[in-house]
Structure 1
Amino acid sequence: MHTMWKGTISFGLVNIPVKMHAATENKDVKLRQLHKECKSPVKYEKVCPVCEKEVKNEDIVKAYEYAKNKFVVLDDEDIEALKKEQEDKAVEIVDFVKLEDIDPIYFEKSYYLSPNEGGSKAYSLLRSALNDTGKIGIAKMIIRSKEQLAVIRVYENSLVVETIHYPDEVRSVQDVPNIPEEVKIEAKELDTAKMLIEQLTTEFEPEKYNDDYRTALLDLIEEKKNKEQTETATDKPVPDNVTNLMDALQASLERAKSEKPKPKQPKQPKRKAKTTAPKKKAAT
């Protein structure tokens, strides 16, 4: 399992060197966008709307927009120094609370923790203490250049980090439109609804829940592939050097013809004017 982060978890004077691994993965079926005409994948380029040209990664800087079209530019060196300063700190558990005290709306993403070299005993100590007390730890840590509020708890035989949202990241329910006020409900209707809930209540078994849409989509893709209902992207035209050379030669020849001065026409020799001999007078 890929290690995403290495650091130290501490509570009190106990330090636990740990490695962090992603506990979940996205199983969504990713579909590419093709040009309908030639079935080639569509490219998305970063283009400056003012310069009207493509922008390379090395020509991009990060900035914070504090007002409309007003920015504070942040250098990569500044961000890296700040991130390094925070990452070097140990992740300290500052509070212990009950899991049921945190509403699920706060939870974001899960990560497994495994002990790093020399951390097995301290890792086991924290795991046992959390299990016996039924508590979870609250801590702050840097993950992917962002400070995260997190809880550390036990899942099966492993310690797990759950990143959670800060309170100001959770939108107020007061902003949700069209929430009905208290509506009078008939007792019979309520009793029937509660009876239905009781009939459908069971133990949570995650294995019995499947992504039916993803399964159907993969089946459809496989069916089309087996029926050879597939498309092949059109290859990008490769320049033909021979053709290009002939085109260049032909163009050069045409240009040379147009620029070549026309040959001068040879001068025609002037014709001498014919002279007529004077007529002799007739004898008288």
Structure 2
Amino acid sequence: MHTIWKGSISFGLVNIPIKLHAATENNDIKLRQLHKECNSPISYKKVCPVCDKEVKSEDIVKAYEYSKNKFVVLDNEELEKLKKENEEKAVEIIDFVKLEEIDPIYFERSYFMAPDANGGKAYALLRKALKESGKIGVAKIIIRSKEQLAVVRVYKEALLMETIHFPDEVRNVGDVPNIPDEDTVVQKELDTALLLVDQLTTAFEPTKYTDEYRTALMDLIEEKKSGKATVTASEKQTAAAPSNVTDLMAALQASLDKTKPKKTTTRKRTPSKKRA
């Protein structure tokens, strides 16, 4: 399993060297875009709309747009300094809370935590403490140059870190349009709805839920492959380079033409008559 982050996490005076591994993966089927005319994959270039030319990576700078078309430019050294200053801080569990106190809207992405060298004992200690207390830890961590708020909890026999949104990243529900203000539900309708909920209530078994669209799409792809309904991308046509023989002959002929003496036309002289 690929390691995406390596460091340590602490609670109190206990320091645990850890490695993070992505706990989930995206299994969406990726579709490429082709040019309909020749079936070649479409490429995307970074183009400056003012200069009307492609821009190389080394000619691109990062900036913050504080108002329309007005920017504060930040150079790589400044950003790297901020990154290092934050990365040098130990990842510390700030608080312990109950899991049910955090609304699911805050949760973002999950990572398995594995103990690094000599971290097994402290890892097991934190796992046991979380199990016994029924609490989860709240911590901060830098991942891919971004500071993240995270929670640490027990998942089966592993410690799991889940990044969560900061409060200002969760939009105000009051801004959602057309939410009814008054409770206009009729009791009879509510009773029927509760009966339906009760009939559909079951234990959660994640394996029984599948991505039906992805399965159908993959079946369609395999069907078209087996039926030879496939296309091959066209290669860019380039002018055929002349052979060495042709080049040599052309050069020789050009040289001959250049050195060949030019034909000159001369007038025939008529013999002069002898004078008596």
TM-score range, shorter chain: 0.7 to 0.9
Alignment partner, residue 31 of structure 2: 31
Alignment partner, residue 140 of structure 1: 140
Alignment partner, residue 101 of structure 2: 101
Larger radius of gyration: 1
CA distance in 2, matches of 1:178, 1:187: 23
CA distance in 1, matches of 2:10, 2:27: 34
- Residue 41 of structure 1 and its aligned partner are, at CA, apart by 0.2
CA distance in 1, matches of 2:183, 2:124: 52
CA distance in 2, matches of 1:146, 1:264: 85
Q: Secondary structure at the match of 1:6?
A: strand
Query: Is 1:116 equivalent to 2:116 in the alignment?
Result: yes
1:64–1:266 distance in 2 versus 1, CA, 3 Å: farther
Alignment partner, residue 161 of structure 1: 161
Alignment partner, residue 174 of structure 1: 174
Q: Secondary structure at the match of 1:241?
A: coil
Deviations 1:182-232, CA, capped at 9 Å, x for gaps: 232221111110011011111111011000000000000000000000000
Aligned CA RMSD, in angstroms, stands at: 2.4
List alignment gaps of at least 5 residues for structure 2: 258-262, 268-276
- Residue 265 of structure 1 and its aligned partner are, at CA, apart by 9.7
- Residue 264 of structure 1 and its aligned partner are, at CA, apart by 11
CA distance in 2, matches of 1:49, 1:190: 58
Q: Percent identity?
A: 67
- Residue 266 of structure 1 and its aligned partner are, at CA, apart by 8.8
User: Counterparts of 1:4-83 in structure 2 under 5 Å?
Assistant: 4-83=4-83
User: Counterparts of 1:176-255 in structure 2 under 5 Å?
Assistant: 176-242=176-242
Q: Secondary structure at the match of 2:148?
A: strand
CA distance in 2, matches of 1:69, 1:120: 52
Which amino acid in 2 is paired with 1:221? I
Which amino acid in 2 is paired with 1:151? V
Which amino acid in 2 is paired with 1:67? S
CA distance in 1, matches of 2:264, 2:39: 59
Alignment partner, residue 87 of structure 1: 87
- Residue 90 of structure 1 and its aligned partner are, at CA, apart by 1.1
Deviations 1:52-86, CA, capped at 9 Å, x for gaps: 11011111111111122221111112211211221
CA distance in 1, matches of 2:93, 2:151: 8
Q: How many residues align?
A: 260
Between stretches 46-55 and 60-69, larger displacement belongs to: 60-69
CA distance in 1, matches of 2:149, 2:122: 22
Alignment partner, residue 273 of structure 2: none
* Normalised TM-score (structure 2): 0.88
Which amino acid in 2 is paired with 1:28? D
Between stretches 180-189 and 222-231, larger displacement belongs to: 180-189
Deviations 1:148-186, CA, capped at 9 Å, x for gaps: 000001100010110000110000001111111223222
Between stretches 74-83 and 29-38, larger displacement belongs to: 74-83
